[in-house]
Structures are given as structure tokens and as C-alpha cells.
Structure 1
Amino acid sequence: MDNQFDIRNHDTRDPNPWLAMYLDSSIPINTLTKQALMRDNNSRSTRYFLPFIKFWSKISMFFIHIFKFFFPKFFNSSKALHRILAWGLKRFVSPDANLLIFRHFHAGSEILEFIAKNVDGIQVTTSPLKPYDFDGVKDDLFLNHDLNLYNFVIKLNSELKEKGLGIHKQKNLNLDMISENQFNHIQFPKKWTNVLDLRSAIELFTPFYQLFLTANDFVRASNSLQLDETVAIYTTQILGTPGHLGLVNNKHPMVPTSTYTAAYRLVLHGLATETLHEILVNIKLDKSKDGVVTPA
């Protein structure tokens, strides 16, 4: 076990808050993900780089917003953006932060597929995004993630309305698409330059996202974070357990918030995805043990 999470290192006069969060079991989350997130929160990059990067990010976004108002079609290149993102992730982002970023696409894809396969009477095809290396980022990964989410909501609800159907609790859940592994099959770079924590990386990349995408793409990407509530509602309707909605912080997609908070909300989006995915993993494990599904 990582020394940071060894209870023997606990000092009652100086308790480690991240040790407390790691040991706390009130929020379901993958063990490997939890360790990576707690190490990331306790990293030197988070403590020393993040405050300055956040300041730079907000100032940059302000001037890019003005620039885009006068030159809306200048620098619009998703391909260039994703090449920059892939290059930055590989050379400057820590292994823990890269793990959290890459895992997010896998978990999110499986959640959408779970919903699609557990609503009676509909045939919605999903477009899973499961990158296994940095080259996978170059294929418009982040942009397609947002597009897939909106397209899924549109396709699902248009078919439900067309057929007069609804989303209801399922007694026999299809959990074939939910992976139980710890997602440790990618070896991320550990060079001396790979130091950026998750939030610093997101804050640093957000102005580039704003600069190289159209205004519509950037605003849509920011607003998509609030669809956490929508996806969580679909899932709880299938499971019949509305209490899981309490784990969602990005809410009210019909009332969009400022793009300046996108970086922080993106981290919350990742956490919401991980907790929801872990709930499904636990249900699948219970099913394999007992032979029945008990979504409690």
C-alpha cells in the first residue's frame, strides 16, 4: 500500500485530510482511482502551481473571449487542439492525473451503454470512446466526448417520445458492458517533467480549448458538464434508487453557468462519473455472487 494511505503513519496531532478521505467509505469509488485522486490532491503541483495557473487561466480566458468576439473563425482547429492536448498530457501531466483523465472516457462510455441497454423498447446506438494511448487523444477525443453525450440525450429522448415510452426500474439489469477491473493496463510517462496535477492540467488546457474551438463548441462543452444530473436521473430510474442523485454536483442543465468555472466543474464531472460507475460495478459484483440483482 502507498505510505500516504498507511494508517500506521497517522498523527493525531497532524492528521492527513487525504488519508481521512481515502479511508472514508461513504462515497463509492474505484480503489485505484481514489488513490490517484488523493495523491493528486496532496501533490506539490496542487499546492504550489495550481493557484498561479488558475489566475493565468482566468485572465487568458477573458482576453480570448474578447478576441473570439471580433475574430470568431480565427484559430478554429479541433485537430490542432487535440494534438496540443496529446502532447501536453504525455510530457507534462503526472501519471495519477493521466490515469484519472483516461479512465473517465472508459467509465463514461460504459455508463451511457448501460442506459441504452436497460431501457425497454428503444434501440439507441452509442459511440464508445476508450483511448488506450496518447494517439487516441488526437482523434478529437474531448470534442467527441461532448458531442456523444448530447447526441445520446437527443436520440434517447426522441425515440422515447416517438414510441410513447419511459424509463422504468429494471428487474433484470444488463451489466455486460460494465468493467470490473482497476484500469491499470496503461503505463503513463514518469519523466521529471510529468508533474502537473489534474486541476492544474485542466486549468492550463482550458484556454487552449476556448481558443481552438468555435464559440458554440466551447460553450456546449462547458454546459455538457451539467448533464451529470440528467445521466444520473436516467440511471436511478433504471435502478429504482433515487438516493444516488445526492452524489451529483453538476446540476440544472437548463440553467447554464459561466464557462469560467468549467475547469473546476470538469473535476466534479469526473468524480460523478467515477461514483456512478462504481455503483454499477458493485451491483454487477453482487449479481455474480448471488445470481440476482439487488440495486440497493
Structure 2
Amino acid sequence: MRNDFDIKKHDQRDPNPWLAMYLDSSIPINNSTKQALMRDNNSRSARYLLPFVQLWSKISMFFIHVFKFFFPKLFNSSNALHKILAWGLKNFVSQDANLLIFRHFHAGSEILEFIAKNVSGIEVKTSPLKPYDFNDVKEDLFLKHDLNLYNFVINLNSQLKSNGLNIQKQDSLNLEMISEDQFGHIEFPRRWTNVLDLRSAIELFTPFYQLFLTANDFVRASNSLQLDETVAIYTTQILGTPGHLGLVNNKHPMVPTSTYTAAYRLVLHGLATETLHEILVNIKLGRSQDGIMTPSVA
């Protein structure tokens, strides 16, 4: 992918905010992901289309909410939903936004595997989701992602409680599941129709998510975003570095927030996943984070 963030293009009288964010290294993040996210933020779709899409999305969600109250079982079809999502991603979503979406499943799966393999005295089986093409999306990908998060939390903590254990700092880490590549092995379409930025795509897809899922599935999906804090706490307990919790914005899963904010929080969820994954990559490669000595790697 191209690099649009060249310091030679910097104009002192008209600085590009996304160039500043790209050059800033205070937040750990995969370089390809960072470039894609900054280009996505700077796209015409994000600047001109997103405000209209957000308005349409909120209005649609309100009427779907009323509709589902009276007809809760009508249109419930995860299969139909994911076919629509796969079609939309392939034909209308930009290359950068598709990269961010697909990478999220890989990074999230690796983080859960890391936690499962680095908690002593328990054995939690994970179900990694690592899509490589749009057909993989049709296999209930987004729904399984939400289910995996809750099932992981339930299975992990039920074992900890039944065995009288707590998550402890590990002096020797298993990082074999953490991949440090730049995720360049998937080519996404770049047709003239592939223009939607990440947030516009999510805002457009969210009403379909609400319409075709049961109320329980949709609310659970929205609330799962606040599990960012839970997963981050597990990881920092293993690493012994609680300062990393400052990178998490989706917090307090015991106090759910409105589903109308789900699209924005989903982008924050993606960013939290990427930063946590990059922390693990840096540890695997022997880099330190914020001056903290990294544990040894098994």
C-alpha cells in the first residue's frame, strides 16, 4: 500500500493532523495499520459522506428498534446478514477499511490465545477467527466474534474460580501465537465503488446488524465492546504492566451504554485491539514498552 505521509509534504501554515498522528509514536500500533487508519481518516468519504451516513444510521436504528419491539422474530437471519456484509465489504468498502476490519479478527484471536496460554493451572480452548477472503465473512464471522469473547470470559473465569486460582504475572511468556508481520498477504478490491471509509461502513452496516439479529444478539454485540477493559486487565496481570490500561477507551462492562454509540465504540475497539497486539509483538521482538523491562519469552 502507498505511504501518503511524507514529512517532505509538511506545510507549516497548513499542517496535516493525520501526518502528525502518523509520525507520533506515543501509541504502539502496527505500521501498516497506522498508515491505513490515517489514510482512512483523511479520505473524502470520512470528511464528506460520514456525517450524512451517521444521521441515516441513527434514524434507521430508532425505527428498527420500534419495529423489533412489535415483531421480534421477523427478519432474524444471521446467514442473510453475513451475506449482505460480505457483499458490502467486497463491493463498497475501501481497501484501507477492509484491511483494518480483516486484521482485527486476526489480532483479536491472537490476544485471546495469548491469555489462554499464559494463565497457569487452566486450559481454555479458543476458537480463532482468521478470515482470508470475503467468503469467510459469510460463515457468521461477526456474530462468532462476539460469542467467542463472552464464551472466553465465562470459560476462563469458571476454571479460575473452580480451581481457586488468580491470573498472575508470568516471568516466562508463551508468544508463539503472536504474528509480527504487517498483514500484507491479502489483496482487497480497489474498484471505483470501493470508497467507503471504516466509520461510514460500520454506520451503514449497524442497522442491518440490528435488523437481522435477535435483540439479545445485537445488545450482546454492543456490550461486548466494553470487554476491551476486561481483556486488557487479563493481559496486564500476565505482563505485570498495568500502565497499558491507559490505552483502553471502551470500559466498565458492568455498566452497559447505548447501542446507538456502537459504531463509534467499534472503531475504538479496533484501535484497542491493535495497540494491545502491538505491545505483545514488541515484547516478542525484544523491544521494551514505556521503559518497562519486558518479561523473558519462553
Q: Note the alpha carbon deviations across 1:86-137, whole angstroms, 9 max, x for none.
A: 0000000000000000000000000000000000000000000000000000
Q: Say which structure is richer in helix.
A: 1
The equivalent of 2:274 in structure 1 is: 274
Q: Which structure 2 residues correspond to residues 1-296 of structure 1 after superposition, within 5 A?
A: 2=2, 4-286=4-286, 294-295=294-295
Is the contact between residue 109 and residue 129 of structure 1 (CA under 8 Å) also seen in structure 2? yes
Normalising by structure 1, report the TM-score.
Answer: 0.97
Runs of 4+ in 1 over 3 A off after TM superposition: none
Q: Note the alpha carbon deviations across 1:202-250, whole angstroms, 9 max, x for none.
A: 0000000000000000000000000000000000000000000000000
- CA offset at residue 295 of structure 1? 4.5
Q: Note the alpha carbon deviations across 1:231-273, whole angstroms, 9 max, x for none.
A: 0000000000000000000000000000000000000000000
What is the SS of the residue equivalent to 1:129?
coil
- CA offset at residue 294 of structure 1? 1.6
**Aligned letter for 1:177?**
M
1: CA distance between counterparts of 2:3 and 2:98? 21
Percent of matched pairs sharing the same residue: 85
Structure 1 vs Structure 2 CA RMSD: 1.2
Distance 1:120 1:260, change over 3 A: same
Q: Note the alpha carbon deviations across 1:118-176, whole angstroms, 9 max, x for none.
A: 00000000000000000000000000000000000000000000000000100000000
What is the SS of the residue equivalent to 2:172?
coil
Aligned residues: 291
Unmatched 5+ residue regions in structure 2? 288-292
- CA offset at residue 4 of structure 1? 2.6
**Aligned letter for 1:266?**
L
The equivalent of 2:290 in structure 1 is: none
- CA offset at residue 3 of structure 1? 5.4
Unmatched 5+ residue regions in structure 1? 288-292
